[in-house]
Amino acid sequence: MSVRRIVVPVLVVLLVGLFALASVQFGLWLGRCEAVAADKPDAAKNKQELADLQKQAEPFLKLFAKVAETVKPSVVSIYTKQKVEKKQPLRRFRDRVPHGLPFDMHPFFDFGFDWPWMPKEGLGSGVVVAENGFILTNTHVVEGFKDDEITVADQGDKKFEVKVIGRDPKSDLALIQAKDLNLAPVAFGNSDTLQVGEWVIAIGSPFGYTHSVSAGIISAKGRRGVTPKSVPFAIEDFLQTDAAINPGNSGGPLINLRGEVIGVNTAIASRTGGYEGIGFAIPSNLAKKVMDSLKSKGKVVRGYLGIEIADISDSLAERMGEKDEKAILEKLGLKEAEGVFVWGVGDGAPAAEAGIEAGDVILEVDGKKMKKAEEVAATVREIEVGKKVNVVIWHEKAKKTLTVKIGEQPEELASTKRYGEKEGGAEVDFLGLSVQTLTPELARELGYENQKGVLVAEVQKGSGADRAGIKEGDLITKVGMRDIANVAEFTQAVKAAAEKKGRVTLYVKSEKRGRFVTIE
């Protein structure tokens, strides 16, 4: 057999095989191309779908614009600037000014306190809430300024003089009036029905950019811990929003999509001083009550018991030198964490007159069960001043009902000190005081009959005891929740508490009141 007869068939077979393989690969490639072509976006189709969606969303998009257009004319910018009279600097310091240096530009050479070149000034916002130019804003926007140092400007930047009708630092709300300002008032919405996630719009003058509009949602309700502790009786029930709020927005409205005021923008949480996504507004229902009271009376009258209170919790246990909440309940004789612990009672306060003492637990106020300290505060401040109400307390491991005549909450405390705040910097050994066992003779002399404890004989000036307000003649009856009857028990209990927690809580009685104090 010749070589040719063998090679030719083999080549034919190879060529057929290669053609078949190429055909298969071409088919696969073609399939992939068709798949890619099938997956390729249809620009025309997508454009049409987008147009359809825009048509459906157009009313919603226009809603934001219409709300802003409707409300913006009723929002004003508030400008404040103190009028400071120029002081005449002392001649001997003027003579020492270097040649050619303008004296009045250098406070270093003037020992006066009213610097004419540094008047206090500020910028805020407000919203017209009633006819005849009544404007709601924040107290901190107008606080410290006289009527003639405050002006408001409308959307056209026309300026108007104002009169302060009333301020309420506890809610940080103020009512002012610009009689010549003829703008339509904005209606109030119901902040109680507001839901987390609901859209809102903030309007104001951030950084001086007047009538700026930002949008966001309600992030949370009932936020506390926003107001500085130095503000006595501060009311905290803030709305939290991520609508952009910056300095200058204070006092401006937070609006729902019905064009109603549902909050008054008041504060921000920020590490930089600017917007970081967390702003706070006073709920409209609270703002409406305050506004009505300021308009009719020039002030807000609230009920008052005169007590310092705390939730029964692990935090309270730590302050009292106990292990946890369960240990506190065992000491009090309670089965569960019901009621609110009385940390202190003010001198001559309505609670003191009724017989409420520090260490008691408030279970009910005027027929309403109390579980949280804020519930007690909110309930009491809404009760009419002068009304007598029943207060159910847990006193010495038993229920007791007392009748309390509600007083009027004072404008401010005699001291802004709050019982139980941490007082750092003192030696713990003897707390900066010396004590002696209360004898029957001393008890009769000082009005402590039938009581046990140690009498404060001396308080070292500047010590922890001094800063806590402990005075000579006070009676200490407890260290934490532990009763003490003499100096030995007192010393032992103090050392044990100090070694365990680094702080000591004492129950201190004076002639008129008893309260707990904590010393670091």
What is the rounded distance in angstroms from the CA atom of residue 222 to the CA atom of residue 225? Answer: 10
pLDDT along the chain (520 residues), means of 10: 59 61 60 57 82 83 91 96 61 36 31 46 94 95 93 95 94 94 95 96 95 96 78 84 95 96 93 87 96 93 90 83 85 88 86 91 94 91 94 93 92 39 32 78 76 82 80 86 82 77 82 79
Instruction: Give strand ranges (E) for 269-416.
Output: 279-283, 303-304, 307-311, 340-345, 361-365, 368-369, 388-394, 399-405, 407-408
Comparing CA positions, the residue from 386, 171, 152 lying closest to residue 266 is 171
CB neighbourhood size of 9 (10 A): 9
- The CA distance from 195 to 483, in Å, is 48
Q: Catalytic: which of 172, 311, 360, 474?
A: 172
pLDDT number for residue 511: 65
What's the Cα-to-Cα distance from 202 to each of 114, 130, 138, 374, rounded to whole Å? 37, 19, 15, 28
Helix (H, G, I), strand (E, B) or coil at 199: strand
> What's the pLDDT score for residue 44?
85
Q: How far is CA 214 from CA 195, 238, 256, 275, 466, in A?
A: 19, 19, 12, 11, 50
Instruction: Provide the greatest CA pair distance for the chain.
Output: 144
Alpha-carbon gap, residue 447 to 439, rounded angstroms: 12
Condensed to tens digits (0 to 9), the pLDDT of residues 425-484 reads: 222 345 778 788 887 767 777 778 888 888 887 787 777 788 888 888 888 888 888 888
Catalytic (active site) residue 466: no
Of 77, 191, 250, 293, the catalytic one is 250
Q: How far apart are CA 216 and CA 255, in angstroms?
A: 10
214 is catalytic: no
122: Cβ contacts below 8 Å, ≥ 6 apart: 79, 80, 81, 141
pLDDT of residue 53: 85
Domains of the chain: residue spans and CATH: 74-109+118-177 (2.40.10.10), 191-297 (2.40.10.10), 303-408 (2.30.42.10), 433-519 (2.30.42.10)
Outline where 143-220 has alpha helix (H). Answer: none
Please say whether the beta carbons of 513 and 345 come within 8 A: yes
Residue 218 CA to residue 178 CA, distance in Å, equals 31
CA distance 372 to 425: 32
Residue type, 314: D
Q: Which of 74, 110, 125, 140 is catalytic?
A: 140
The tokens of 438 are what? Answer: 């209360």
Active site residue 510: no
